[in-house]
Amino acid sequence: MPYGPVLLGIWWIFPIIMLAFMVLGIFAMRSMMMGRGSWPYPPTHTAGSDALEVAKRRYAAGEITAEQLAEIRRNLER
């Protein structure tokens, strides 16, 4: 035995380590593609609801009038 009994006794651990790194890599890539905090569930909001929330906050702060808020709401419902 040119490599000794120690190396021949633990050869099986290297494929397990490689498999673990592959699983971690796939999990990391999937998490990055799905966005933070949303994996495994897709986002429940849409761009229109975000825009409406911004408009409501601007109305509450007095930055826009009630008529402008109603117009924004109509445009987003189309």
Domains held by the chain: number: 2
24 and 50 in a common domain: no
Contact in structure between 31 and 39 (CB atoms under 8 Å): yes
- Tens-digit pLDDT string for the chain (78 aa): 556 556 666 777 888 999 999 999 998 888 777 665 555 555 565 556 688 889 999 999 999 999 999 999 999 887
| pLDDT digits 0-9 by tens, 17-34 | 999 999 999 988 887 776
Closest CA to 30 of 19, 17, 41, 45: 41
3 and 31 in a common domain: yes
Domain span holding position 35: 1-42
1 and 38 in a common domain: yes
Look up residue 29 and give its two tokens. 């890539």
Phi-psi sector, 37: left (phi>0), alpha (psi -120 to 50), beta? left
Q: Which residue shows structure tokens 């799905």?
A: 34
